[in-house]
Structure 1
């Protein structure tokens, strides 16, 4: 409890930027634009790394979590700072101020661990490249990141439990734009020596230990690069860690400038403006450092922008390929035939499907003299009428003759037969030859055999059987003849139809 002549503090007044009230509008616009850029840049990094397969590597996984920490840190402080700029000052409940201090500690110092993990990743990639893929497996990366967050939550919670037991009496204003540790603890009327010792030990764990690891890894990296004889290889090795080294200098430089100063400077207005360096400047520059200096990020961003541009340009349209529109012309009346085509064109337009008119063909099967239908037009362009058409590697004739298709099959099969004989000359086993036949020859010879196998004349059947007999003599085992393959395929198709 507070003494009789003191008032217990239940609310904290944040005074913000005193003396700059006349620049309220420019300050608000600048910080709002900066916050928007921070959110945009870091969210782009998060989404790119999450969506692009070629960015699913340990380095970019850690970069994603660094961006998450940046977004959370700035969101913890900047919206309130904008509120203060508009209203000149803001009143917070005491518990709200301590909660902001708690979140700020977690989000701010998690970056220190993630940056040190990234330096270890660069150390393995440059100093031990052969072991890199076996050590930096996805499970280890996830464990390192989760361990960093959990450790910071535990450390911050231990301080939080101590702070909420303090008494705050008398003065209830802070000359700052957020509840920073130093200015907030100055309001406490309890003995804070135990907390300061606790904070000193935590600072060694969250700042000194990671910084020592970073310095050690970069010493190893530096001496490893010096041993590389090729100047081009040296340049590539330096370029792989230049972006990370820039972030290290930026982060630790700003933290040292703010917190490793004398107590007098720490409570001055100068330190308040220094805080903007790691709250606003560092999160703003991090995504630009990686996007401007990293080819993979630039390539991923270029791909996304191209896809978005094409989606806007073509209204998310795709092509309706490999489609057959079937209708009848009855006794020379082609009205139903034309209505079917017109309905399909309208359906394609309503579903954002583009009909490639140049590739679209018309074929009249079993055409009679009274089937002299006029030309079909789609999008004011006349459709070509053809006698033969290759649809999914099957050559179809308007009289349902299969000579063209058999010519193509025999030509492809003879090429595979030549390769089969070459393999036989190398004394390859019969089993391997049979597998080659099934994958390279039979898959071509009997493709869609259910459709055309029953319409062959004796000459066409003999041509295919002749090719199969040659393959059979090469392999040395009996193969299924064409008639048997066709009948088996028809029975399977019939069975599937009856089941449906």
Structure 2
């Protein structure tokens, strides 16, 4: 569903707005993503939004780089095989892929996070070598701890709110092995990733609750008692373990404890 595009130069891109209800435009720096909800195998609104974006760029003397534009379709339907029409930009078909990297996160068409976590673990393990070298130079534990936080923990927890909730136990063990290796090197206890994830869920949820202009503020509604937040209905385990249901549980757990 999402189509990933890299505009060559979009200084005025923030003025573009999506025009259909079933599509959303996500913009960050020089990256633009068109997300479309396709119902009954009908891609009309989604393709129309892409054409609108292409026309808008042409009117503003901008160019979409088709070679760096990718389309990723997420479809969990098992009833029938669907044939989706390929988007066309500047008379060139957009490449359809099974995964792509967006803002540092590897997103796959089955919304599993093993590939992303494997990449993160491999990168973090490379930094462990430098941590051991610093230890060999007999630097203080405080310096080693700061190095771990800046160069290893930051990699392990990058965008953790997006993927950790739906990670498998096998992937979590792989992540935690990196933390334990660092603990043995520094000779001090380090925060486990699940604790970091829970704390960040709570912190992010509090910010959303306080920000009435946040587009997802309405998902956090108090019950009649005014003490607990209403849980979100989740028909799938994937949704139940995603950020918003998890963050509401974190808020309610904090209220119960205090």
Bin for the TM-score computed over the shorter chain? 0.5 to 0.7
Q: How many residues end up aligned between the 2 structures?
A: 184
Work out whether 1:333 is the aligned partner of 2:24: no
Deviation at 1:365, TM superposition (A): 1.3
Alignment of 1:94-113 (within 5 A): none
**What's the Cα RMSD here?**
1.6
> C-alpha distance in 2, partners of 1:450/1:484?
12
Per the normalisation by structure 1, the TM-score is 0.36
Work out whether 1:471 is the aligned partner of 2:182: yes
Q: Residues 366, 475 of structure 1: CA spacing in aligned structure 2 closer, same or farther, 3 A cutoff? A: farther
Pairing partner for 2:139 from 428, 432, 448: 428
Q: Residues 442, 330 of structure 1: CA spacing in aligned structure 2 closer, same or farther, 3 A cutoff? A: same
Q: Residues 349, 494 of structure 1: CA spacing in aligned structure 2 closer, same or farther, 3 A cutoff? A: farther
Show CA shifts across 1:369-427 (max 9, x none). 45421111001000000001011221111111111111111111111111101100111
> C-alpha distance in 1, partners of 2:203/2:81?
38
Q: Residues 499, 342 of structure 1: CA spacing in aligned structure 2 closer, same or farther, 3 A cutoff? A: farther
Q: Residues 490, 383 of structure 1: CA spacing in aligned structure 2 closer, same or farther, 3 A cutoff? A: same
Show CA shifts across 1:334-372 (max 9, x none). 112112212222232333332110000000113534542
Work out whether 1:409 is the aligned partner of 2:100: no
Q: Extract structure 1 runs of 4+ deviating beyond 4 A.
A: none
Q: Which runs of 5+ in 1 are unaligned?
A: 1-316
Q: Which runs of 5+ in 2 are unaligned?
A: 1-7, 14-29, 212-258
Work out whether 1:318 is the aligned partner of 2:9: yes
Q: 2:94 maps to which residue?
A: 383
SS for the counterpart of 2:36 is coil
Q: Residues 373, 318 of structure 1: CA spacing in aligned structure 2 closer, same or farther, 3 A cutoff? A: same
Q: Retained in 2: the 8 A contact 1:365–1:398?
A: yes
Q: Retained in 2: the 8 A contact 1:414–1:467?
A: yes
Q: 2:235 maps to which residue?
A: none
> C-alpha distance in 1, partners of 2:60/2:161?
33
Q: Residues 496, 372 of structure 1: CA spacing in aligned structure 2 closer, same or farther, 3 A cutoff? A: farther
Work out whether 1:345 is the aligned partner of 2:54: yes
Q: 2:105 maps to which residue?
A: 394
Q: 2:74 maps to which residue?
A: 365
Greater fraction helix: 1
Deviation at 1:492, TM superposition (A): 2.1
Q: Retained in 2: the 8 A contact 1:465–1:481?
A: yes
Deviation at 1:464, TM superposition (A): 0.2
Show CA shifts across 1:120-147 (max 9, x none). xxxxxxxxxxxxxxxxxxxxxxxxxxxx
Q: Residues 352, 431 of structure 1: CA spacing in aligned structure 2 closer, same or farther, 3 A cutoff? A: farther
> C-alpha distance in 1, partners of 2:124/2:171?
14
